[in-house]
Amino acid sequence: MRHLLRPISLCMFACLFAITGIFSTSLSAQEGTPSGGNSPIAVIELAPGVTAEVFAGAPSDRATGQTVYLARFVFQPDAEIFSHGHPGTTVLGVASGSFGWTLEAGTAYVIRGAASGESGPPEVLTELGIEVILEPGDAIYYEDDVLHTARGAGQEETVVLGSMVLTSDEPLLIPADMDATPAG
C-alpha cells in the first residue's frame, strides 16, 4: 500500500528523518528534553503540539529483524498528527486525557478498561473515517497495514503510552502520503 502513496512535504520529510535517527541509532539525549531537568530521554515533535519520548528500544531475539520500543506520546488539546502507519505491531494505552483515533485503512482493536485487567472481547474497528475516543485505561492495538490519524480530544493534555514491535532500521511512523520507506 505504501508504494501507491504521494510524496511528502519537506517539513514532514525532515520530521521523518529525525524520528528515523532516534529509532535506528542509539537513544542518546537530544537538546529537547522533558521539562524539569537534564533528562536523557529524547523528545521529538511529531506535529505541532504532538511529541514522542522514546524510553527504550531493544532488538528482539524471538522476532528476527524486529525491534521492541517503549514510548510516551503527548498530545496537546486538539493537536493532531498527520495520517500515518507503523512498520509492525503497535499497542497504545491511554494514561490521561482523551485520545481521538481515526482509522483510514486496515483493522484495529480497542479494549475498554484494559488497564484494569479487562481482556475482551475487543471492539473491532473496520469503518473508515470514524473517530473513536479512548479514555484513561483504554487500549488500542493494530498491525502494519493500518493507516490512521490521532489527536488530543479533550480539554487537557493527553498522554498515551506505546509498546511497539517494529521492523528494525525503519522509522517509528511512516506518513501516508509518502512514496516509500526511507533508508534507515
Q: Label the pairing between strands 174-175 and 147-152.
A: unpaired
Q: Tell me the pLDDT of the chain (184 aa) as tens digits.
A: 333 333 333 233 333 333 333 333 333 333 333 444 566 788 899 999 999 998 999 999 999 999 999 999 999 999 999 999 999 999 999 999 999 999 999 999 999 999 988 777 899 999 999 999 999 999 999 999 999 999 999 999 999 999 999 999 998 889 998 743 432 2
Q: Using DSSP, state whether 131 is helix, strand or coil.
A: strand
CATH architecture, range 2-175: Sandwich (2.60)
Specify whether the CB–CB gap between 73 and 51 falls below 8 A.
Answer: yes
Look up the pTM and report it: 0.76
